A = this chain, B = another copy of it.
Amino acid sequence: MAAETPADPLVEERALRIIETTIELAEQGGFEAVRLRDVAAHAEVAMGTLYRRFHSKEDLLVAALERETRAMADRVFERPPKGDTPAERVVGFFMTATRGNLRRPNLTRAMFRASAAGEPALAQKVGIFHDLMLRMVVGALRGAPIPTSGPAEIDDRERLLGEVLTQIWFAVMISWSSGRETQASINERMRASVELVLDGANRNS
């Protein structure tokens, strides 16, 4: 069994330092710059300790993604995207998310790469990321932010729209990673997608 929140403050603190170091290194040099020896040294733990808490390099980066996304979700909850229509708010949310991520391109590339590796061991953590994204998108759709934790009460239509839009964004971000999209093209694609998907959904309501 994976240790669920060991509650040991010393252990917590160590794991946090490890993740922060990971983010720092990825921010500077991307995926390859996250050398585990460096992470361990910089976080002042031994390799054994690092590997007790995180099972792989990807695990580390997905943990970073979870942390960063949680931070974004908190900000979005405090300051929800404005707009008169669901479409405006959802598009606004994706623009914010994209801008925030592109501010640290190396880190973003590294985190997305790790989360797209398809490691079954990471499925749960990646699932948390998707769930947070879903909450933010549906919150924007409703015009009422959803708490970042706790039960969410999302109906089928909202879930479909939210998941589909998140998936489109995810795929586009991966294209951006390799240089096949720009910030402008991402925003344009999301705007068009939201329009497409919301119109389709509105027909039946």
Contacts and interface: CB of A to CB of B under 8 A. Distances in A.
Interface in A167-182: 167-168, 170-172, 174-175, 177-180
Main secondary structure of the interface of A (DSSP, over half): helix
Contact of A112 (B118, B197, B200): B118
Nearest to A203: B199
Interface in A82-139: 109, 112-113, 116-120, 122-123, 126-127, 130
A196 interface: yes
Interface residues on A, range: 35 or more
A172 B122 CA distance: 16
A193 interface: yes
Interface of A: 109, 112-113, 116-120, 122-123, 126-127, 130, 160-161, 163-164, 167-168, 170-172, 174-175, 177-180, 189, 192-193, 195-201, 203-204
